[in-house]
Each structure stands twice: as C-alpha cells, then as structure tokens.
Structure 1
Amino acid sequence: MKMFITLITLSMLSWPTLALDIYQQALANSQRPEQDLEADPRRKPEQVLAFFQLKPGQKVLDLFSGGGYYTELASIVVGEQGLVDAHNNNAYLKFIGEEKLLKRYQHQRLNNVTQLHQEANDLTLCEDCYDRVLMILSFHDLYYVDEKSGWPQIHASSLMAKIRRSLKSGGLVGIVDHNAITGASIEVAQSLHRIDPKLIKDYMTQWGFSFKAESTVLANPQDKGDLPMWDPSVKGHTNRAVMLFKK
C-alpha cells in the first residue's frame, strides 16, 4: 500500500516540477563565480532555463555569450554528455576583457565548452547540430552599428539563416532582450540598446522560425522602456522580453 501511494505521488509530479530541480542544482553548483551568484536574484536563470527547456545531453550555442554567465549554467545543465559553444565577436571580447574570460574558461574549467571567436558575418557553424540557441540580451545587437569600436553592420537575415540551418529539426531559439516602448522603431536598438518585442516576433517569423511561447518572468512594469538600458535608474532591472522560437 505504501509503495502504491508513493507511485501515485510520483506520477502527479509534472515535468516542469521535476525539471526545475535540474536548474536549481545548476545554480547551487559550488564552482560558480561569486559575481554570478550575486546576479542570480535579478536574472532568474532557473526560470529562464526551464522556459527554454535546456536538458542534459543537449548541444547549445550561446550567441554573443559575453562574459559567459549563461554559458556556464548551460554547461552545468547539459552535463558531460552535452556540449556548449560560446560565441563572441571582437567587440564583445574587448568589452568583456581578457582577464574576465580567462577566469571563466582557463584550465578547461568548463570542459564541455568551446569558445567561438568570430565576427557575426563570418560565423561558420555545423548544420543540424544544435538543440538550443541562446540569444541573451543580444538580439537588438543585430541592428547596432559602431564601426569605430569594431562593431560592423551585421547582415541579420544571413546570420539567422545560418542559425536556422545549424538547429536540429524542432530545435529552439531562446531570446531575452530589453524591451522598448511598444511601437518603437528598430532605430532604438542603436540609441537605447532595446527593441520592441513585436519586432523580434516579426523578424523571427520572417526568417522561418515559428513563435512558440513567451514569459513575463523578467517583466518590470516600472521600466517604461524609454531610457538606455545602461541608465542607472534601470540598469540590471530593465523590463525584458523572454521568448521561445522553434525551427
């Protein structure tokens, strides 16, 4: 009788409940840097990763991975049977700094991670190989240009065609970005480093991806979307879109 009750109890546990433990365990990993731990409460990665459905054994591309906050979490979640490719262009590498990246990756600290240092327009990827592609706070950068700082104009449609080819059938693209005011033009990507979430949907569907879901886990109605994302009043706490698209 006791075993029967236990089996019923287990059967009542949904996949999201069980899966959430994977991400909670990743956050609790003792090897994570202190600065990452400090960022967890505001970035809510356990909920974001659960929404993106990262699982052990997957192959993941972290596009414009920056300092590697999500790269490391993905590395832990996919485990020894999974792989993570961490992409950065030269401008991101310069912005993040060599010392910070060394601390993250030196001595094969994340031995299932490969760094890809390539300009977006020259990016070469495997085909039909990724289960997930992450674009964390970087979708708007597809429409940002700063030649003097080494950020050339990105051929967005060409890049995303490569991304689509690199995904397995049914693979998912997870996007997080700073929301702009509803109806804002793409020009705010340049001036505010933000984007209207509707434009993300429009572009992604134009490029052949199907919209799957969105989450309000990083919503902040106090942020009106009319200030640069680095403004002290909103930095680190912008109202953010969290979206999932399928190949």
Structure 2
Amino acid sequence: MSKSVPLLSACLLGMSVLLAGAPAVATQAAASTADLQVAPQLQAAVAGSWRTPANVVRDAHRHPAQTLSFFGLQPTQTVVEITPGGGWYAEILAPYLRENGQYVAAVVDPQALPAGGGRDYQQRSRDGLTKKFAGSPAQFDRAAVIAFDPAAPVLGKPASADVVLTFRNVHNWRSNDQADGMFRAFFQVLKPGGTLGVVEHRAKSDVPADDKSGYVGQAQVIAMAEAAGFKLDGSSEINTNPRDTKDYPKGVWTLPPSNSHDAADAARYKAIGESDRMTLRFVKPAH
C-alpha cells in the first residue's frame, strides 16, 4: 500500500496549523496522520465511477479515504452511519462493505416527530436515500436502513456493530437536547472494542447550549463521548481548515456547501472553503 497525495497535503496543512499556534493535541494528531495508509480496496471505493460528480468534488474538503482509514475501517465490519443525509458517505461505504461486511444507514423516523417542517424534512431525506439505493442495486442492494426516534434512539441490537460513524451531526443533536441520548445509543449498539468515529464543525472553544453557529467545542464533544462510556483513542487534523474564522453572519452555513451568503461574497467564501472540522476516534472499552 502507498500513501496518497491528498493525505500528504492534509499532513502539510496540519503542520501549518501547528506553526500558527494550534494546541499541543494537534502535534500528536499530525504526527500520527503522517503514518496513515489507505488500503487499495478503500481507495477503489472512493474512486468509484458510481459516485455523484458533485460529491467527488468535495473530496478535497472531506478527505474520505484518509478519514475512514483513520477510523480503522475494514471491509468485513458492520458499520452504522448516523443520518447519512443525501448519501455522500454511503456512496463509498455501502460498496466498500457490500461483499464481506454490512452498511447500515440509521435515519430519523419521520413519524417520531411532530407534524411540520422537521417531519417533512426527514421524510424527504429518507425518500431521497431510498431512491438512491433502489436506483443503483450494484452498489446498494445489500445496504440496510433502520429508523430511530432521536428522543429515544435505538440503532440496532445491542453489541451488533463494529463501527458507528457520524459526520457533522453533533451540533444538531446538541441544539435539540438529544446529544447525550445519541452517544449512549452509539455505546449500546457497538460491540466491546468497537469504534466511534466523529467528524464535526470545530468551534474556537466551548460554546453555550443555545449556540446557533453550527460549531461545537472539541473538548465538549470529547466530554459527551466520555460521559457515555467511550475512551478517546485518537484525534486527527485531516479535516482541519485554518482559513475558517468561524464568525460568519449565518454560522457555518455561510460556508460551502450551504453557501448562505450574498452572491457578491461568493469568491470570498469559496476561498475559505468548507469548515474547520475535528476528527475524533473513540473506542468502547472491551471490559
């Protein structure tokens, strides 16, 4: 196996953050990331011709091969992805796990929500994912979908998953007072020794409970996971972005891909790119 060019770029970017005065934890993360290798089978899934072109463009910001390698993903595992949205990561994970593992998309049950915009949004999201899966059976015919109530989440049989992954969701759960329950559900569904992988928009420091920026403090996310019983097993700067100043009129949604800004500011925010993100790996203790 060989190291990829994107991984080298991510490592160099992490080093630039350190030189700019990033905290000591980034030093450890950048050093460990430099040793990451991407398995050919995972690289092939990332390079798959079935992926949506608009999703492929975002690889430069989301670094899927390196992120999943950091989480220790293996093709024989049962992997639960929490609220996969339009299926950005599902396009990689489901084909990668299809032959020898199991991909499970855990979606919010629309009927668990009160009538209104929230239920309608979750129904559209679920319908879109179902359509994507049905339209590409060669990639998704073995993918499973489970629905959960975010107020009382159950993500499968206890101790049935090897890995749980969540990408940019913690701020939503936190603003709805659901984060603690979600982390407990992750712990319950994972096997002893299982891995929880978290990517989240990173605030400059802790943020209040009613914060609406979309960013969360890294120490706050670690505390939530540890309160549920997890142990921090590693952190990486793969998804760092030092250009992100985190002080925008509409929070993180000002940046790509949401681009909630005036058309005249398009060049400015395109130059910043997507948000600065923490990448954290936790483990459920074996005993």
TM-score, normalised by the number of residues in structure 2: 0.70
| Paired residues of 2:79 and 2:161 also in contact (CA < 8 A) | yes
Structure 1 letter corresponding to 2:280: M
Q: Does 1:117 align with 2:147?
A: yes
Counterpart of 2:72?
53
More relative contact order, 1 or 2 (CA 8 Å, 6+ apart): 2
Segments of 5+ residues of structure 2 without an aligned counterpart are 1-34, 111-117, 260-268
Cα separation, partners in 2 of 1:94 and 1:144, compared to 1, 3 Å: farther
Q: Does 1:104 align with 2:104?
A: no
Segments of 5+ residues of structure 1 without an aligned counterpart are 1-14, 146-152
Aligned length: 221
1:120 counterpart SS class: coil
Q: CA RMSD in A?
A: 2.2
Identity fraction in percent:
24
1:141, 1:236 → 2: CA distance? 21
CA offset at residue 102 of structure 1? 4.3
Runs of 4+ in 1 over 6 A off after TM superposition: none
Counterpart of 1:174?
197
Counterpart of 1:30?
49
1:101, 1:203 → 2: CA distance? 29
Q: Does 1:245 align with 2:245?
A: no
Structure 1 letter corresponding to 2:50: Q
Q: Which of 196, 221, 233 is the matching residue for 2:242?
A: 221
Q: Does 1:136 align with 2:167?
A: yes
2:279 counterpart SS class: strand
CA offset at residue 65 of structure 1? 1.3
1:69 counterpart SS class: coil
TM-score, normalised by the number of residues in structure 1: 0.81
